[in-house]
Amino acid sequence: MGMYVYKVLAKRVKCSDGGEANVSKFAYKPSMSGWGGDSNRRWHFQSGCSRADKMAEDGKFTGRIVPEGAEPGSKVYRCDAGHFYDDSTFTAENRVEGVVVV
């Protein structure tokens, strides 16, 4: 178990309220050791998270995400960044109420 970093993709899916959500994809498992800083920065760049962060800053994301492989009826979550940690994003507080993938 542990915390995982996901990146937000440009790919979108339709939602039940007529809006769209971006698809998110696993990027890397960060190192939590005191020596992991350099590795985490390298993985962040190599995984494409840096590009995703730039796209988010440029307003090219919807502010909603679903996990890769989401099927109709899957929950939709809020996310305004280009990357995120699963344990703090896939929570009830971040769920968009009443909206699912169609």
Structure tokens at 98: 């009443």
pLDDT, tens digit, for every residue of 44-75?
999 999 999 999 999 999 999 999 999 999 99
Q: What is the pLDDT of residue 32?
A: 81
Residue 9, pLDDT > 90, answer yes
The pTM for the full model equals 0.90
β pairing state of 64-67 and 20-28: parallel
